[in-house]
Structure 1
Amino acid sequence: MHRIMLREVIIDAPSADIDAVTSFWAAALAATPHPVPGEPYVALRGAASLPQVATQDIGDDPVPRFHLDIETDDLEAEIARLEGLGATVRARFGTYAVLTDPVGLLFCLLPPESEEFALRSATVGG
């Protein structure tokens, strides 16, 4: 048994479009953009949203997309559970992993970082 929680919706955009995408989504969600130092992310603080929202510069990749970040307190158990549901691991980076769902949509598994994790996460596995 372990815990999971959808933490964030990430709006991925090519470098050439990241400023326009960030401006659009900040205005659309009544948020204030805050670049994350040393990261390709811009947090959209105060967004009219239950999960956090951010934009991400995906460099030269020409395909804009959305992806989800899911926190888990047991990365290995959650990878195994999701693979059993049809997910595929695309990359692993120490404490987090990039996966795709059965139709190829990207999402990430991350360790718990949110203050809300203890209160809002759900127990899964068994």
Structure 2
Amino acid sequence: MSHRSRLAGFIIDCRVDDLEPAATFWSRALGLPIADADAGDVPGQYQQFGDTPADLHIEVQKVDHASRVHLDIEADDIDAEADRLEQLGARRIGFVKRWWVMEAPSGQRFCVVKMHHPEKGPQPNEWP
């Protein structure tokens, strides 16, 4: 059975005690307004930007690991997409809440998340 996926956006992981100054910095640096200062399931954990290029999902999140930037790939079937990426050489690190944390063969971490708005943004890729 086929599934669809595409680049969803970028997540700026911030190892900080208070996410607000980090969100303000990245908002000003990228020239993007903060559209949702309390995005996500945990208060103070995520802030999402608005008016992003190509409707990409861009947010800052408070993390316990080293600060970094990672990308999200969204799919209508996250397990099928994780399988496809494993066939390309990626490996699953773990399932967190509702998404797969993956690692590319070159070491970069990224996530496979559920596609919520397939009608927005660029056309998703269709995979056999």
Indicate whether the TM-score tops 0.5: yes
- The structure-2 alpha-carbon separation of the partners of 1:11 and 1:41, relative to structure 1 and needing over 3 Å to count, comes to same
Q: Aligned AA for 1:67?
A: H
What's the TM-score once normalised by structure 1's chain length? 0.83
Please say if residues 99 and 114 of structure 2, whose CA atoms lie closer than 8 Å, have aligned partners that are also in contact. yes
| Equivalent in the alignment of 1:14 | 15
TM-score by length of 2: 0.81
Does 2:98 align with 1:105?
no
Residues 55-104 of structure 1: per-residue CA shift (max 9 Å, x gap): 00003x2x110111111112222111101111110111464211111122
Tell me how far 1:45 sits from its aligned partner.
1.1
Identity of aligned residues (%): 29
Q: State the partner residue of 1:43.
A: 48
32, 56, 63: which one pairs with 1:58?
Answer: 63
Deviation at 1:8, TM superposition (A): 1.5
- Once the two structures are superposed, what CA deviation does each residue of 1:2-35 show, in whole Å capped at 9, x if it has no partner? 1001112000011236333211210122222222
Displacement of 1:52:
2.1
Q: Which residue of 2 aligns with 1:78?
A: 81
| Structure 2 stretches lacking a partner, 5+ long | none
Question: Structure 1 stretches of 5 or more lacking a match?
Answer: none
Report the CA distance shift for 1:117/1:83 in structure 2 as closer, same or farther (over 3 A): farther
Question: How many angstroms apart in 1 are the aligned matches of 2:123 and 2:21?
Answer: 33
Higher mean C-alpha displacement, 15-24 vs 77-86: 15-24
Q: Distance in 2 between matches of 1:99 and 1:69?
A: 10
Q: CA RMSD in A?
A: 2.2
Structure 1 residue 116, shift from structure 2 partner = 3.5
